[in-house]
Amino acid sequence: QVQLVESGGGSVRAGESLRLSCVVSGSRSIIYYMGWFRQAPGKERERVASISTTGATTDYADSVKGRFTISRDNPKNTLYLQMDSLKTEDTAMYYCAADRVWRAVQTGTPTPSYWGQGTQVTVSS
């Protein structure tokens, strides 16, 4: 059974940075496309960033492009999200997700097969 465990969330001020991590267990991460999603209270879940199995291809939501960087270390079975120049509107629960289908982690449809439990990011002004 594939398990995803996120860490690295916290409370920061606008303009600061955070790095989220997501460790994959139960399978080799390289066989999965992976992505980061977020959900703020009262809002729909939003795809933030996606990465191909080797890391050669990445894709970002317009709202985070140029500020966030997704990466992966397959020997460590770990996915990262470097978040710079954080804004108050980035406040949300952040989830990592994995699937064997690129479209699932790029758009959220179909729903990715595997999800972490989430890590909270709070950005204050």
User: Binning pLDDT at 50, 70 and 90, where does residue 29 land?
Assistant: low
According to DSSP, residue 74 is labeled G
Q: Is the pLDDT of residue 30 over 80?
A: no
Provide the token pair at 95.
């989830």
pLDDT band at 28 (very low <50, low <70, confident <90, very high): confident
pLDDT at 1 over 90: no
Stretch 58-63: mean pLDDT: 98
Mean pLDDT of the chain: 96
Mean pLDDT confidence for 14-26: 96
Candidates 22, 30, 28; CA nearest to 95 is 22
Find the mean pLDDT for residues 52-79: 97
Residue with tokens 């916290």: 10
Q: Which two tokens mark 115?
A: 């999800």
Say if residues 51 and 34 touch (Cβ distance below 8 Å). Answer: yes
